[in-house]
Amino acid sequence: MSTPLQDQSNLTPEQAAIAESLKKVGKRQGINGQDIDEPIPTLETVDSEKIFRGKSNNYIIFGRDRPSHPRSGTGAKGATQADRIDIIAGLASSFHREDGSYGPPNENTVVNPNFAMDAARVYISQKGDIDKYMGLAKTNHPGEAKEGASTIGLKADAIRIHSRQDIKIVTGRSRVEGAGKEGERLSDGSKNETVGTISFIAGNFNDGSKYDPSSLQMLSGIGGKMFGPGSKLQPLVKGNNLRTCLNDIVDVLSEIVSAIGTNASLIDQMNIGLSSHIHTVGPIPTTPSPVYAPVASAVGAQALGATASRAILTNKVNSLKINHLNAESGQNYINSKYVFTT
């Protein structure tokens, strides 16, 4: 729960008197952009960092990859080309104090950056493992960035990206001139040979579990007993392909309904013929029923046609499965191969 805002720009006479008395004893209130007295922890630093700190609890840190304590990140492993720019507003804002309350400690407490405790953070790294740093669910897709990729991480209570016209989320190589026949390379100079994937993971949860993804219990119970087939991450449906698939299904169903109607009509004719079926009784061999014989002949002819229609329907159903429901061979496969969601 966020600390409620305390608007001191429109105080009652009683509140104004209190504020004035505090001001007289040197306590700064922060009204109209003035300085304010508030708890600010002490940031632990390392030799490779250059730090710009504002007058409040905000920082811009230039250093090597370090998501948290000095032993974290690729910088701590001695990796080269592992630079970082770390922008933090509200260092340790949800720190668990000794009295049981939550909020930033004072300068007597030394803290490190922490994605779980810092209020808002922009983390830019030349070489890191951002999913691990931020505690994000893995997708296990072949194109998922691994440790050592350049990365940008954003963390806050709420993040908004607003465009007055359109927004694009694009993976893969950019279309630029002068990049050679193999195109744009990855940040370490290696070939970029994957299309990449886009994953929308609501609740930061991707594994099969007994916990309800709509409940935060999952976060504390990830180590509990699991069941189910595993990943909850599923490909998004491609609208045009799905529409074509549904139209094909409707066409097949229409032909099936027509065939059922024809079959019912044939059965009615057979019932009529059988109900008036007669034989000549006597020493002379019986002749075909003058009533049923022509009915049976007509039914047999239509049955041959129905057999041919059934073969056509079978081919259409098989074609529908191959074109729309087969991820490997389907030209109009209904699911995206690169965009996923929970």
What would the pLDDT profile of 22-51 be if each residue is shown by its tens digit?
A: 555 556 666 666 777 788 999 999 999 999
For 333, other C-beta atoms within 10 Å of its C-beta total: 20
Q: How far is CA 317 from CA 56, 144, 256, 309, in A?
A: 67, 36, 11, 12
Where is pLDDT greater, at 73 or 277?
Answer: 73
Instruction: Band the pLDDT of 16: cuts 50, 70, 90.
Output: low
- Burial of 179-214, coded b for 16+ CB within 10 Å and e otherwise, reads eeeeeeeeeeeeebebeebbbebebebbbebebebe
Per-residue pLDDT at 318? 81
Per-residue pLDDT of 113-169, as tens digits, reads: 999 999 999 999 999 999 999 999 888 787 777 889 999 999 999 999 999 999 999
Q: Confidence band (pLDDT; 50, 70, 90) for 217?
A: very low
Alpha carbons 225 and 209: distance in angstroms, whole number: 7
pTM for the predicted model, two decimal places: 0.70
Region for 187 from its dihedrals, namely left if φ exceeds 0, alpha if ψ lies in -120 to 50, beta otherwise: alpha
Q: Is the pLDDT of residue 94 over 60?
A: yes
Q: pLDDT digits over 162-190, tens only?
A: 999 999 999 888 877 677 777 788 888 88
For the residues 303-320, what does the mean pLDDT come to?
70
Query: Residue ranges per domain, the chain?
Result: 33-196, 200-232, 239-275+292-336
- Cα separation, 38 vs 106, in Å, equals 8
**Alpha helical stretches, state H, the chain:** 13-24, 130-134, 217-220, 239-275, 292-324
- CA gap 126, 187 in Å, rounded: 8
Please provide the size of the chain in residues: 342
Q: In whole angstroms, what is the distance from residue 318 CA to residue 33 CA?
A: 71
Please give the pLDDT value at position 223.
32
Q: Which residue's structure tokens are 């026949």?
A: 181
Q: Taking 60 as the threshold, does the pLDDT of residue 308 lie above it? A: no
pLDDT for 323 equals: 81
Report d(CA 86, CA 59) in Å as an integer: 8
Give, to the nearest 10 degrees, the angle between helix 239-275 and helix 292-324: 170
Q: What is the pLDDT of residues 233-279, one digit of tens each?
A: 888 898 888 888 888 887 888 888 777 777 777 776 766 666 556 66
